[in-house]
Every structure is written in structure tokens, then in C-alpha cells.
Amino acid sequence: MYPEETGPLSQRLLRDSHVEQVNDWTKTASVRRARMIAYLVTFIMALLLYLVFSAGSGTLWLWSPSELLAGFLLSLLTAAVAGKVLCRGKDYRMANPVRLLILPVYIIGPFFIEVTRANLDVAYRVITGKIRPGIIRVPSGMKTDFGAFLLANSITLTPGTITVDISEETNDLFVHNINVPAGWETRDTVEARELFGLANIPAWIRRIAE
Amino acid sequence: MIAEVLAVACLVIGTAFNCLGIIGLLRFPDVYTRMHATTKMTTFGSVFTALSVIIYGAGQFLGTGDGQYITLSLHTVLAALALAVTNAIGSHAIARGAHRSGIRPAQAVVDRLGEVPP
């Protein structure tokens, strides 16, 4: 019923909004069920976020009864207003609790180690002034947009590398390196694995997002 | 006691990295290399400053059992997460904007993006 998840993002969004219009005219049971799931997922996420924000406000475990009631009502309101917008993808892979739990483990573990190592490297370059900048092409190897987004952000947050641009057709990243290792300037592409020294970051991201 | 020592240690590390980031801003030649120093090193420094607040709050909570310290710690965790995500997206947007408006990376040994037709 839905078009395949391929092609550049801009075209895909256009197609999705078109599908949305068609659905408004012919409301079937499956569409109503999809809407219900979207509302439910948004409600749970909003409630969890509210609970984190208001933890420590009272004696009922960590929350006060009035905060719990306010959170419940506000989450219902949020789901009613924003459910359709926030869950547009019709793909609830990321609502899986296991994936959501691996994400903080990834951030605290391998990602933090990698960022620390790279920060010390850039600190050394700030002090000595030894730089060899350049923009290289990195095939991300990610099939989904969220995976490519996570990899691009991980590369950007690791000092010494910034994602400058992304090719929407192939999900290739263009990465500015502050210190291009010798030999890389003649290669057409560099694997994402080689940008990180210690931890296998692309494998972790694939575990989370794909 | 231990929590306070750890908090001060994190504060020192964070401030040191923030200082190095500013020195990098002054030393590096062009917009891309400067962004390596300023956006990322200062993110790391600020995350460590936030970490010191989190450790302090957790230590006070374990000591006194007062719920407001949990609130303090959790809010700081969310602030650090928001800082990390927005910093990454912001620096990506600046770099892309700079390259689109025709600024070539200075002293570059290779520029694969410049070879691709826009």
C-alpha cells in the first residue's frame, strides 16, 4: 500500500504527504490502526520524557501525585496534537526498547572513548599547529536515514572530523579531516571504520538503527 | 567527600578543554579547522562541566536523600544531551553552508566534495 522506502529524502517526503491525502479521503480500518499506533507511541514517549523531567518532585516513589496527573494529561494532549507529525515514517523500529537501551550504552561506552581519544589528538594539534586538512569521501554503508544521521553526527562530534555534506542518492558522507593520514589523499573513498581508532563505531550504529 | 573531589576534577578537565578550544580558534587558518577546535572541543569541555554537576548532585542525594538533587542531576543530563546533538547539527550546517558559498578548505591536500558537481 505504501511506496517503497527508496530514493532521495525530499522526493520520499513529497510522496508520503501525497499518500496522507489519499488516506484522508478513504479511511479504512488499517489506516485507523496505524493512527492509533502513532498516538500510542507518541503518548508513551512524551510521558517518559515528562517523568524524567519531573523526577524528584515528591514522595510517591520519586514523583508527587499532581505531577503524575499533569504528565498523563499533557502527554494525552501532545499525542493528540503531534502524533501524526512525529510518527510520519510508519516505521517503528526505533520504538523498540532494546534499541533505545543500546543507544545510551553506545554513547557512554565506545563513543565516549573515541571522543576522548580524538580530543587529546586535537589538543596536541592546537598546541603544536601541525595540521594537514582535507575533505575525503566516506561511504556510510547505512541503509536507513536514521543510521546515516547517527553516523554523520558521531563523525561530527568526534573532533578532527566534520561531516560537511551528504549525498542523498548513495548516503555517502563528505568528511573534513584536520589531519589526513598519508596516502588517503589519493584514494577515492575511505571506509567509515578507518576514521575511528579504537572502537568499531559503524558496527555499533548498525546494531542500533538497522 | 569523594563525589566533591570527582566533581572538582571534572570541572578542571572541562575548563582546560574549553581553554584549548579558544586557543585553537585563534591559531587555525580557516573556518573548517577552526570549527574542529571551537565546536567539538568546547562540547567536550561543557559535557565535562555538566558531568561535574551530575556527580555533585548524585553525591548530595546519597548523602541527604533530598529529591531536589535528583532533579538537578537529571536536568543536567538532558541539557548535556541537547548540547551534544545541537552542536553536531549546528557545526554540520555551518560547514555545509561555508562549502556551498564557495569557501575552499585552506592548505587542503584533497577536496573530494569540490570535485562533485553541485
In terms of domains, do A25 and A43 share one? yes
| B69–A contact, CB cutoff 8 A | yes
What's the confidence (pLDDT) of residue A7?
A: 56
What are the φ/ψ torsions at residue A54 (nearest 5 degrees)?
A: -105, 15
- Identify the domain containing residue A68 by its residue range: 9-91
Is residue A1 domain-resident?
A: no
Is residue A2 domain-resident?
A: no
* H helices, E strands: number in chain A: 7, 3
CA distance A173 to A192: 9
Assess whether pLDDT exceeds 60 at residue B4. yes
In terms of domains, do A201 and A116 share one? yes
CA torsion sign for A67, A68, A73, A74 is positive
In terms of domains, do A34 and A112 share one? no
Beta carbons within 8 Å of B43's beta carbon, 6+ residues apart: A157, B83, B84, B87
What's the confidence (pLDDT) of residue A173?
A: 85
- Ordered by start, the domain boundaries in chain B are 2-98
Rg of chain A on CA atoms, in Å: 22
- 532494546: which residue's cell? A98
In terms of domains, do A129 and A202 share one? yes
- 503524575: which residue's cell? A68
Single out the residue in A60, A91, A122 at which a domain terminates: A91
* pLDDT tens across the length of chain A (210 residues): 344 455 556 565 555 555 555 555 556 777 777 788 888 888 988 898 888 888 777 777 778 888 889 999 999 999 888 877 777 666 677 677 788 888 888 888 888 888 888 888 888 888 887 888 888 888 877 777 788 888 888 888 887 788 888 887 777 888 888 888 877 777 777 787 777 777 778 888 888 877
CA distance A24 to A205: 36
pLDDT tens string B32-65: 888 888 888 888 889 899 999 999 988 888 888 7
Single out the residue in A67, A91, A115 at which a domain terminates: A91
| B19–A contact, CB cutoff 8 A | no
What's the confidence (pLDDT) of residue B49?
A: 93
Measuring CA to CA, which residue among B44, B41, B50, B46 is closest to residue B78? B50
In terms of domains, do A69 and A107 share one? no
**What is the count of residue pairs from A and B with beta carbons less than 8 Å apart?**
136
In terms of domains, do A124 and A156 share one? yes
Single out the residue in A91, A123, A144 at which a domain terminates: A91
Tell me the shortest Cα–Cα distance from B26 to chain A, in angstroms. 9
Cβ–Cβ gap A53/B91 under 8 Å? no
In terms of domains, do A116 and A73 share one? no
In terms of domains, do A187 and A114 share one? yes
Query: Which three cell numbers mark A147?
Result: 543510521
In terms of domains, do A137 and A203 share one? yes
Q: What is the mean pLDDT of residues B7-30?
A: 89
Q: What is the mean pLDDT of residues B113-117?
A: 69
> How would you list the strands of the sheet with A172-177, edge to edge?
A134-139, A172-177, A161-166
What's the confidence (pLDDT) of residue A97?
A: 77
Best A49, A64, A115, A135 residue to mutate vs chain B (most B CBs within 10 Å): A135
Q: Which long-range contacts (CB under 8 A, 24 or more apart) does B88-91 make?
A: B88/A153, B88/A156, B88/A157, B89/A153, B90/B39, B91/A156, B91/A162, B91/B35, B91/B39, B91/B40
Is residue A79 domain-resident?
A: yes
Provide the percentage of residues in chain B whose pLDDT is more than 90: 19
Report the Cα–Cα distance between both ends of chain A, in Å, rounded. Answer: 22
Q: Determine the 3-state secondary structure of A63 from DSSP.
A: strand
Split into its structural domains, chain A has a count of: 2
Is residue A3 domain-resident?
A: no
| B106–A contact, CB cutoff 8 A | yes
What stretches of A26-165 show up as alpha helix (H) in DSSP? 29-53, 65-86, 97-106, 112-128, 145-157
CA distance A119 to B41: 6
In terms of domains, do A140 and A202 share one? yes
Secondary structure letter of residue A175 according to DSSP: E
Answer yes or no: are the C-beta atoms of A135 and A176 closer than 8 Å.
yes
In terms of domains, do A21 and A87 share one? yes
CA distance A131 to B28: 9
Beta carbons within 8 Å of B8's beta carbon, 6+ residues apart: B52
Which of the four pLDDT bands, split at 50, 70 and 90, describes residue B9? very high
ipTM of the complex in this document: 0.78
Closest residue, chain B, to A64 (C-alpha) = B67
pTM beyond 0.90, yes or no: no
What's the confidence (pLDDT) of residue A19?
A: 54
| B48–A contact, CB cutoff 8 A | no
Answer yes or no: are the C-beta atoms of A43 and A76 closer than 8 Å.
yes
